Amino acid sequence: NSDRLSLSSSAGSALGAFPGTRMRRNRRHDFSRRMLQETHLRPDDFIYPVFVHDDNGAATREPVAVGSMPGVHRYTIDQLLHVAEQCSALRIPVLALFPVIPANLKTTDGKLAADPEGLVPRTVRALKARFPELGVMTDVALDPYTSHGQDGLIDESGYVLNDETLAMLRQQALVQAEAGVDIVAPSDMMDGRIGMLRQAFEENGLIHTQIMAYSAKYASAWYGPFRDAVGSAGNLGKSSKKTYQMDPANSDEALREVALDLQEGADMVMVKPGLPYLDIVRRVKNAFGAPTFVYQVSGEYAMIKAAAQNGWIDEKAVAMEALLAMKRAGANGVLTYYAIQAAQWMKDEGGLPPA
Ligand code: PBG
């Protein structure tokens, strides 16, 4: 154990003149602290998750605020183009799309997920036409489209069916890839979905579509505000996602999930949620050295916002520290609702590297 070794060697030198090592010397001046900083945040580290809905008249003339996520809105496609422009200007590399589907269009099989003229493929086409240099990522999962709020198809008992769901996810992902999305991100946690999608893409000549696998996605209570934002909370009711998302108690199991997803053809893997799961991020990074992302989820964002609104914490300092901690833990990048705000803060401080 290296910690123990360095402890005993500094104790050894302390036998002479104490202290042999003054750790505070390097921390005295700002120049020195900057020079010795091991981890840095850049706007390139961020993926910005956004909620998109269809225009239906007066109610959507302005972006619609999400109550449990201050500063987060549901946008129409037109409004989203302005957000994309901001991302582009701030050098945020990727937008991640999450659709909000009206309750009357949700079905038990969530088949709207595979409609080539659906909200998501239309949004992808609009974004790629206007901002071809901006990366676009889409979620592969049925929960925005199902009347029961689960990520897949269910049987009479409410159990989420694996292989039947895969068939639906295949159609959903092909529609997204054909619309020109850069990265698909399966967040459903069905077994075998990465291999199935990779094969479907290969068979259809879609060899460039990247897959970012939600590999270690936990059955977490931190997703609450997101479910309000996409309107699946009410549908889900008291049922949980514990038969497919991971048990927060488990860590070895996360490594098995990541190993399978990489073997099945994932280009990048993800751990979700973020701050309470940084031990998992570090283990995954150490074990595989693969591009590893982490999702600072809605509940993490809401907690910082709520405490800041009460004047209990310094929002900017806490948010930036949380994001930095994710990189320090080994993440290559972070999905965060703070992306625009954080990039703006960096720019205001002159910390943005020249384009
Ligand atoms: C669902 C999905 C969820 C999130 C991203 N995709 C919620 C869930 O699994 O219930 C959560 C994101 C967040 O909380 O910010 N496929």
Structure tokens at 256: 């098995």
Is residue 321 in some structural domain? Answer: yes
Q: Beta strand pairing status for 183-186 and 210-217?
A: parallel
Give the integer Cα–Cα distance in Å for 302 and 317: 15
Which residue among 217, 241, 285, 305 is the active-site one? 217
pLDDT for 1: 47
Whether 125 has a pLDDT exceeding 50, the answer reads yes
In short, whether 223's Cβ falls inside 6 Å of ligand 1 is yes
Residue ranges at the known binding site: 257
Nearest atom, ligand 1, residue 224 CA: 14
Stretch (H or E) spanning 213: strand 210-217
Is residue 137 in some structural domain? Answer: yes
Q: Beta strand pairing status for 73-75 and 64-65?
A: antiparallel
pLDDT digits (tens, 9 = 90+) for 244-254: 999 999 999 99
Report which of 147, 143, 160 is spatially closest to residue 235, judged by C-alpha positions.
Answer: 147
Structure tokens at 302: 């809401």
Number of domains in the chain: 1
Average model confidence (pLDDT) across the chain: 93
Is residue 331 in some structural domain? Answer: yes
Report which of 188, 192, 196 is spatially closest to residue 145, judged by C-alpha positions.
Answer: 188
Is residue 236 in some structural domain? Answer: yes
In short, whether 300's Cβ falls inside 6 Å of ligand 1 is no
Four-residue CA torsion sign, 286, 38, 314, 50: negative
pLDDT digits (tens, 9 = 90+) for 7-64: 555 554 545 677 788 999 999 999 999 999 999 999 999 999 999 999 876 666 899 9
Average pLDDT over residues 224-232: 86
272 part of the active site: yes
CATH number of the structural domain spanning residue 177: 3.20.20.70
Is residue 222 in some structural domain? Answer: yes
Whether 354 has a pLDDT exceeding 60, the answer reads no
pLDDT digits (tens, 9 = 90+) for 160-212: 999 999 999 999 999 999 999 999 999 999 999 999 999 999 999 999 999 99
Structural domain boundaries, residue 54: 39-348
Is residue 108 in some structural domain? Answer: yes
Is residue 27 in some structural domain? Answer: no
Phi and psi at residue 160, to the nearest 5° = -80, 120
Is residue 83 in some structural domain? Answer: yes
What is the interface pTM, i.e. ipTM, of the complex?
0.96
